[in-house]
Amino acid sequence: MRQDLLSGVHEPGSKLKVELLRTRYGYSSSPLREALNRLTQEGLVVADQRRGFRVAPMSAEDFADITRLRLLLDLQALEESIEHGDDEWEVRSVSAFYRLQKIEARLPEGPLVLNAEWSARHKDFHMALLSATPSPRLLGLCSNLFDQAERYRRFSAKYRTERRAKSDEHQAILDATVERNKTEAVTLLTNHIVRTRESVAAIQRQRDAAEQSAS
């Protein structure tokens, strides 16, 4: 269900009816309600006043808030990982990057529509970089915010028209991180997160303008 929420199978703001979820996922009501409650805690689902559930809505303001928190927490986790990371952490980060790179090499040219495999490897890479923080709670918050941002990345990717750019952003972030260049790594990750915010915001403005013209 989480993957369907992230990929936009369930429309933002739509009702999540337990009886329909039972048909789709093949579980009884009790585990489905437990899953919905957990997803509510993660910010992917909201509980309405009538004790039902809806997909969390999406807005430019919400994504800006997610980005603001990522710039606070992800950067802190990265700094702590650079300070505390050992050889195993470096190997984990390099391996995660290699797997992401292999996926990207198989993607077709043209506009990038993110798929589940790429998204999973993308998150694995970012979480590997942060995984040496001594705070499991901080890492959990970063993971949750990454998932919330993923909804917006996947949504905006559907409407991109430009060709996919060959980017070495992840390589540069990795290199600065394993070289323990904290200032450079933090700057690169900041730019990476902000660029995503700007890209999503631009596509949202285009869609809003198109809807206004159509009406």
> What are the tens digits of pLDDT across the range 104-137?
888 766 545 557 788 899 999 999 999 999 999 9
Query: Judging by beta carbons within 10 Å of its beta carbon (0-12, 13-18, 19+), is residue 182 exposed, middle or buried?
Result: middle
Predicted TM-score (pTM) of the model is: 0.82
Greatest mean pLDDT among 21-30, 37-46, 63-72, 145-154 lies in 63-72
pLDDT tens string 49-107: 777 899 998 888 899 999 999 999 999 999 999 999 999 999 999 999 999 999 888 87
67 and 139: one domain?
Answer: yes
> Could you tell me which residues are beta bridge partners of residue 37?
none
Three-state DSSP class for residue 215: coil
Is 26 found in the same domain as 76?
no
Name the residue type at position 151.
R
Say yes or no: 67 and 46 in one domain.
no
Q: Structural domain of residue 192, as residue ranges?
A: 60-214
66 and 48 assigned to the same domain: no
Helices (H), ranges, the chain: 2-7, 18-25, 29-41, 60-84, 87-106, 116-130, 136-157, 169-178, 182-214
Same domain, 113 and 34: no
CA angle 57, 78, 149 (to 5 degrees): 10
Q: How many domains does the chain fold into?
A: 2
Name the domain boundary from 27, 55, 83: 55
| Shared domain check, 90 and 33 | no
